[in-house]
A and B are shown apart, each in its own frame.
Chain A
Amino acid sequence: MRSMREYAIETEGLTKTYDDVKAVDGLKLQVPAGSIFGLLGPNGAGKTTTIKMLLGLVAPTSGSARVLGFDVRTQSEEIRRRVGYLSETSSMYGYMSVGEILSFTKRLYPRWDKSVEDKYVDMFRLPRTRRVSALSRGMKTQLGLILALAPCPDLIVLDEPTNGLDPVGIRDFLQAILQEVSGTGQTVLMSSHMLYQVERVADWVGLIVRGRLLLSRPMDQLKLGQKKIQAAFQVNPPERIFQMPGIERVNRDGRRYVIHVSDNVDEILMNLREIPHFAVDVVDLNLEDIFMEYAGNGGTPS
């Protein structure tokens, strides 16, 4: 029975400072319960530090965070009881066999779905008697996914999970997540810098750059709202038109303009088309374009 809270994760002013460097800087993040939330950001943006703070592995310098309603400072064990976590950076015990590490992990959790374990051990063709140290990197990731899914967690946290997987492995991995969480009410937080993967599975997206959350929106709203208008005018357009709400940035090359729009597309388009022009076209942005808009500008969209 999943609880009916609005957000699985809520942070307010969450900050982590190492010496004088702010790895996470006043993060305000809300991950809706039941969503597949893609946490995007370039390397070193603070994604892993954020995740570690959410699991109680790293103590925040300041700010607060609640995961599944539990405080990360005082109730981290309760959080970990309900979270399945797969990290790119951590290792499993290499001397254990696949069967041994499954058995060891199983006994640490209050719930464990043996059918999930068996299903994915078979699907990924993991040999139970083989030592973890003898598995390929891809197989280790698949084993890590089973260890994250089988405890029937309310929240699944995947930190750069598909690094090291081949394209078929990535497909199977993403399918397994979708299959497992659909209709269960489980929340997935998946950090990645591989945008096409997030685009395939996530229904919410957050973008973190230099430890700060720059945007957090539903995927469809993000893709619908973010547009690029390419226009070639016959006369110089009035400057006031570029100050309309929703216009983020304007690049000009002679009488050719590229206008980056985050909202109010229809009205902007109508006004632009009233100016004598050779062409005014709308270009849809994919997640990579949007990501580059923000991350490529050092964290500012304009």
Chain B
Amino acid sequence: MISRPLFVKELKEAKWKTITGLLITGITGASLPFLVDYLGFLIEQMAVPEWARSVLGEQLGNYPLYLWSNWYGKNLLQFSLAFAVIMAGPLIAGERSRNTLEFLASKPLSRVQIILTKAAAGAVSLGVIILASTVITLVASYAAGRPVPVVWFMSGFFAQYAGALVFFNLALLLSTRSDDGLKAAVIAGGIALLMFAAEWVAPLRGRTIIWMMAASRSFITGEVSFGHIFFMLLLASGFLWAALSAFRQSDV
């Protein structure tokens, strides 16, 4: 079902995006453990209201809370969403805009093979970014003398990756219907932003993909939330199926 030559080609095409993603997320993750003292110093020096000083101080005083909320709840969350849509947006639309889709589709590959192979290669690149940067963050924590339980911390990866796949496949679906990869990425990114905004609305808080992606329940309960991960994978599969269906019906 997966075409090896196409898979390799897709990995090569995604090479610089993957490297850029690794650099940005890796540096961000590596810097998190070292920022604790610096932030504490800044709060002491700045004239901030007492309640803010108290909240920030509490967060900085609880390193696992600081690390989880900053990594899975903010930095990695934003980066994985951004790279998911940036990587998937041009997969089909980019072939169209470069006028290479006919070249590819005229080869002995089925439409299903083309989509699945592209999705697989993109998912691998995205997975590498998320996993490697999370490992870097963990190693940096140890290097900074702030160790956290490895299994506990890495458990957040699965939810993060599953959520990223939801938006990756959503962007892929949009890509099959567009000849502008950037446009597909921007629309998928816009939908992700709406999800962020939904988290600010009290009745929706704790019920969005963003909440599930941040693995908040895992942090609170200390257990991996398989239900959330399964739900996100199901949603991601739905978008992938829709992308397959759309691409099979489209003329090249």
Contacts and interface: CB of A to CB of B under 8 A. Distances in A.
B50 interface: no
B103 A57 contact: no
Contacts of B4: 107
A90 B106 contact: yes
A256 interface: no
Interface residues of B, number: 21
A108 B252 contact: no
Interface stretch (A30-38, A79-87, A226-234, A284-292): A79-87
A93 interface: yes
Contact of B110 (A58, A77, A89, A92): A77
Contacts of A95: 13
B54 interface: no
Contact of B108 (A58, A90, A92, A109): A109
Given A91-B98, A93-B100, A108-B5, A59 B249 contact: yes
A77 B13 CA distance: 25
Contacts of A57: 102, 105-106, 251-252
B249 A91 contact: no
B208 interface: no
Contacts of B102: 52, 57, 87, 89-90
A55 B108 CA distance: 10
Contacts of B99: 89-91
Contacts of A90: 99-103, 106
A104 interface: yes
A52 B106 CA distance: 9
Interface string B59-83: 0000000000000000000000000
Which bucket holds chain A's interface residue count?
A: 20 to 34
B9 A104 contact: yes
Interface in A68-103: 77, 80-81, 85, 87, 89-95
Contacts of A110: 108
Contact of A91 (B3, B103, B109): B103
Interface string B216-252: 0000000000000000000000000000000001011
A19 to B, nearest CB: 13
A191 to B, nearest CB: 14
A55 B107 contact: no
Contacts of A182: none
A17 B102 CA distance: 20
Interface string A47-71: 0000010010111000000000000
Interface centre among A90, A109, A110 (most CB of B within 10 A): A90
Contacts of A52: 102, 251-252
Contacts of B107: 80, 105, 108-109
B91 to A, nearest CB: 14
B176 to A, nearest CB: 15
A81 B13 CA distance: 25
A250 to B, nearest CB: 44
A91 B108 contact: no
Contacts of B13: 95
Nearest to B112: A77
A108 B106 contact: no
Contact of A77 (B9, B109, B249, B251): B109
Given A89-B99, A107-B4, A107-B5, A58 B251 contact: yes
B19 to A, nearest CB: 16
Interface string B94-132: 000011111101111110000000000000000000000
Contacts of A104: 5, 9
A229 B4 CA distance: 63
A80 B103 CA distance: 11
Given A58-B252, A80-B108, 13 more contacts: A57-B105, A57-B252, A80-B106, A80-B109, A89-B102, A90-B103, A91-B100, A93-B100, A93-B103, A94-B98, A107-B4, A108-B5, A108-B6
21 contacts: A52-B102, A57-B105, A57-B106, A58-B252, A77-B108, A77-B109, A80-B107, A85-B106, A87-B103, A89-B99, A89-B102, A90-B101, A91-B98, A93-B9, A93-B100, A95-B13, A104-B9, A107-B5, A108-B6, A108-B107, A109-B107
Interface of B: 3-6, 9, 13, 98-103, 105-110, 249, 251-252
